[in-house]
Amino acid sequence: MQDSLKQEVLAAAARHDVIRAVAELYQSFQYDIDERRPLCSASGRCCRFEEFGHRLYVTTLELAAFAAQLQNHATQWDGTGCPFQHDRLCSVHPIRPFGCRVFFCDSTSTDWQHDRYEHYHARLKELHQELFVAYHYVEWRQGLVECQLVSNPSPQPSCEGRRGQSLSLPQLPL
């Protein structure tokens, strides 16, 4: 899948309609955030995946939009957490993927987050069909490494779990 994902992401990243569609989806979601106003304490816990006990998954379109907007962003990364978190803050906040946008530490917004995630992820899947972009759903760091947006850290590969199991998910049918 590695070469296929990279080729599909790079091809989609060169398309203005793809970048515009993802930006419009993110803007629509921002209206939902503005209406709900969930609490973000800027603790940075959401970016420390292993410590906080979660994973971030992205689609082909999200990786493409991210790749198209990423500006020569050199990063030192040890293979844990998000490679773009620096000093507890997101260094790519304006272009972060949807999963980052929907995650809040606010315990009163858990149901809202789940509902919004399902709604907008369904829309992302529709956009893949409408824009004729192959749908892949991969762990964020694995996708970054496969698309060569970050270097694979040594000695611990970013796509390995604690016991060496792969964290990638199979391509889901549309």
Q: How many residues does the chain have?
A: 174
Tens place of pLDDT per residue across the chain (174 aa): 567 999 999 999 999 999 999 999 889 887 877 776 766 666 666 666 777 777 888 999 999 999 999 976 666 677 788 888 888 787 887 888 887 777 756 666 667 677 777 888 899 999 999 999 999 999 988 999 899 888 777 544 444 433 333 333 333 333
> Under DSSP, is residue 34 helix (H, G, I), strand (E, B) or coil?
helix
Structural contact between residues 129 and 88, judged by C-beta atoms closer than 8 angstroms: no
- Confidence (pTM): 0.77
CA separation for the pair 139, 24 (Å, rounded): 23
What residue ranges in 18-123 does DSSP mark as E strands?
Answer: 57-59, 85-86, 89-90
